[in-house]
Structure 1
Amino acid sequence: MSFQAYLDKIEDKTGRTPRQLVDEAHQRGYGAADVKAGVILDWLKAEYELGRGHGMALVHVIKNGPEISDKHVGRSGPHGDPSKVLWLDGKATNPALL
């Protein structure tokens, strides 16, 4: 599954866009450098019933922003992403899907 596909699935599961979840995490102070991934994963599981894989995709965006490594971009198959910048504002408005 591509990084973007994880984020799109999170939206399906929670009814919230990745940006909304990132904003909520930052309001809770989870974007700080000293906050461990486990704390964020516990919150995402308790509040939104997200598992570890989906949670870790969101942890990356919460801690590092929407940019991903070039190694994920342009790969064929299910693990490739079309861009090194992830779309956080919801599947319905993603220009790559329109």
Structure 2
Amino acid sequence: MAVFKRLSRAEIERDYTHVGWFCGLVPVYIGGLELEGPRVAARNGVPEWWFDLVGVLYGFTAASAEFAFGVEMPGWKLTLTGEIRRRADAA
């Protein structure tokens, strides 16, 4: 999504409220934090396949830890680093 089909500023402001990191490796836009499953998209300039690869590796690690140690890992590892500034907020 983020390399070939970049999100416009209007789409980012409409659908997402925060920026952050997925597993500390993929910069993302995050929206719908009040939902059980928030909207997450790789930031512009980051290949979508990188987001997918990190998600698969995290899923494998979480499943392995649960199987080996009986430890339940969180569903998704998202770290919020800031809010998206709206054009109206910048003034």
- Decide: shared fold, TM above 0.5: no
Normalising to structure 2: TM-score of the pair? 0.27
Structure with greater helix percent = 1
Higher-Rg member (1/2): 2
Normalising to structure 1: TM-score of the pair? 0.26
Structure with greater strand percent = 2
